[in-house]
Amino acid sequence: MKVTSPIGELPFTVQRVRTGGEGLVVEGELGAWRSRIEIGPGDVPMLARALRGPLIALGVGVVLVALTRRR
Q: Which is nearer to another protein, 8 or 41 (CB)?
A: 8
CB of 46 to another protein, least distance (A): 21
CB of 33 to another protein, least distance (A): 5
In degrees and rounded to multiples of 5, residue 5 shows phi and psi of -140, 170
Q: Are 37 and 25 in contact (CB under 8 A)?
A: yes
Residues at the site binding another protein, with contacts judged by CB under 8 A: 6-8, 10-11, 29-34
Largest CA distance in the chain: 53
Q: Which is nearer to another protein, 11 or 40 (CB)?
A: 11
CB of 2 to another protein, least distance (A): 9
Q: Which is nearer to another protein, 11 or 20 (CB)?
A: 11
